[in-house]
């Protein structure tokens, strides 16, 4: 075995370790959940997710909406059929609004 082979073997082991560390940081069950925006309403209005899950909002209205949770996440105005995704990395209750129509609200509960 040459020194070069040994070196690339070592490098491969380091990379494998790094990859498994990254995988270990994310729960194995990480899911993608969808919230639709229709007729000024978030559906479902409340979603329960686990840390590591991703929620994607899709705007089905023909006017723009946003998804804003103060200090947590903030989408740009979404036009028709545009989406916004956010991955929740810490537990808690995330109440959110449409900043253009503040009476529109929803809740993501992360456990
Ligand atoms: Cu709106």
- Please report, for the chain, the start and end positions of each structural domain, with discontinuous segments joined by +: 1-29, 32-110
Whether the pLDDT of residue 51 is over 90: the answer is yes
Q: How far is the CA of 53 from the centre of ligand 1 (A)?
A: 24
Q: How far is the CA of 64 from the centre of ligand 1 (A)?
A: 6
Domain 32-110 CATH (choose: 1.10.540.10, 2.60.40.420, 2.40.37.20, 1.25.40.10): 2.60.40.420
Collect all residues with Cβ–Cβ distance below 8 Å to 32 and sequence separation of at least 6.
53, 54, 55, 56
What is the pLDDT confidence band of residue 3, given thresholds at 50, 70 and 90?
A: low
Mean pLDDT, rounded, for 48-77? 97
What does pTM read for this prediction? 0.75
Q: How many CA atoms lie within 13 A of 8 on its CB side?
A: 4
* pLDDT tens-place string over residues 28-46: 679 999 999 999 999 999 9
Q: Residue 29: what pLDDT?
A: 78
């Amino acid at each position: 075995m040459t020194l070069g082979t040994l070196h690339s073997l070592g490098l491969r082991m380091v990379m494998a370790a790094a990859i498994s560390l990254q995988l270990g940081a994310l729960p194995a069950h990480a899911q993608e959940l969808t919230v639709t925006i229709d007729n000024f309403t978030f559906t479902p209005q409340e979603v329960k997710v686990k840390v590591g899950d991703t929620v994607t909002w899709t705007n089905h209205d023909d006017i723009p909406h946003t998804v804003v949770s103060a200090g947590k996440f903030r989408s740009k105005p979404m036009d028709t059929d545009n989406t916004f995704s956010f991955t929740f990395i810490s537990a808690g209750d995330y109440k959110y609004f449409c900043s253009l129509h503040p009476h529109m609200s929803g809740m993501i509960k992360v456990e």
